[in-house]
Structure 1
């Protein structure tokens, strides 16, 4: 499977590659995985136009480098990825999504795509009537992540409850590393259940 990866704000592709090294190694024992680090598309959210520009760059990158089986986002990378998926669902509800699954680590809240078009930066809110993201998703965050725990929970609530899996690890704003063996296994279980949903659907 081919996954597009989007790193967090203030880091880069190399850092995300290091952060996911243990998970990639463990996943390759069962699945053949290839991870492609996305271009530097994660914006510093100083204004709505910078986020819209990042969304356009992400869409162009997917069109040029895809197709991808799935996507992984960490922190602000997860916010950009979820904003993109919600925006597609709102603007083109019958269009097939460019990913078959998404994995969110320590996610920041997605932006409200409609507000961005009006030049405003607002966080998206769950729609009580229907899920905003309708594909298999894994949501992984840290119990000690004071800044993003609630934001991760909010994004989780925006996704289809029948297609989502969660795992809350014992660390902070990070992807568990090799010393956190129990948490690594918890992450892997959530990711594998998500991938299994893709396999069943297809």
Structure 2
């Protein structure tokens, strides 16, 4: 795919929001990032396929409606509607793609990090181009043995950027996910389970990651 004119094509990311939030909420949360970062991406925000089936943690902070990608038990080891969720994402990608990468926060990050492995195994996103890049904010690995053995049977080799919050309850699981990635880029921040603002070091790291993925896109043109 050649780029139009002399400008490099912006990497196009499908953005998957957190549990019981929405695409619009994720877009608002990413508004904390400076324009110098956001203008380098073509970001597309999708709402999860299921209306929230319970109280949202962001009630009173962000307006409804709220959505979820799938449902799970307390141990996060059994999932309901997971296959429907994968079909929903693939259908959206077929109609609105192609996409170069996935950006996810929280439940959307857990899902995003599992999709390249499931795609490689032919269990998800079989009708769309391969995912080339990942941005994972407050992510973790799936705990269900059936999903895990397929999603993480091979290391994640594509360029991936991970945000790890010092006080994030998912941090230990985010570190586990890193072990599954080949040469991941990591931004540490002092906050909890949130999309952080970028300090000087974080800004430098994300801009360097953007340069890496733009170079990879140009190689493929």
TM-score by length of 2: 0.70
- Aligned: 1:107 with 2:129: no
Matches within 5 A, 1:59-78: 59-78=90-109
Task: Compute the RMSD of aligned alpha carbons.
Answer: 2.8
Deviation at 1:194, TM superposition (A): 4.6
Unaligned stretches of 5+ residues in structure 1: 117-121
For the pair shown, which has the larger CA radius of gyration, 1 or 2? 2
Residue 176 of structure 2 aligns to a residue whose secondary structure is helix
Unaligned runs of 5+ in 2: 1-9, 50-68
Q: Equivalents in 2 of 1:75, 1:169: separation in Å? A: 15
8 A Cα contact 1:141 1:168, kept in partner: yes
Deviation at 1:135, TM superposition (A): 1.2
Q: State how many pairs are aligned.
A: 184
**CA 1:102/1:196 → structure 2, altered by over 3 Å: closer, same or farther?**
same
Distance 1:142 1:123, change over 3 A: farther
Which whole-Å deviations, capped at 9, do the CAs of 1:9-42 have from their partners, x for residues lacking one? 021112101111132622245x3x2211013142
Could you say what secondary structure the match of 1:91 adopts?
A: coil
CA contact (8 A) 1:27 1:188 kept: yes
* In structure 2, C-alpha distance between the alignment counterparts of 1:18 and 1:191, rounded to whole Å: 22
Spell out the pairing of 1:23-34 with structure 2 (5 A cutoff): 23=33, 25-28=35-38, 31=40, 33-34=41-42
1:50 equivalent among 81, 86, 106: 81
TM-fit CA distance, 1:142: 0.6
Pairwise CA distance, 1:185: 1.7
State the partner residue of 1:119: none
Normalised TM-score (structure 1): 0.76
Are 1:16 and 2:34 an aligned pair? no
Other structure's SS at 2:44 match: strand
CA contact (8 A) 1:169 1:183 kept: no
More helix by share: 1
Q: Following TM superposition, by how much is the alpha carbon of 1:198 offset from its aligned partner in structure 2, in angstroms?
A: 2.5
Within 5 Å, give how 1:35-184 maps onto structure 2: 35-41=43-49, 42-46=69-73, 47-91=78-122, 97-110=129-142, 112=144, 115-116=146-147, 127=153, 130-131=154-155, 133-145=156-168, 147-161=169-183, 164-177=184-197, 181-182=199-200, 184=202
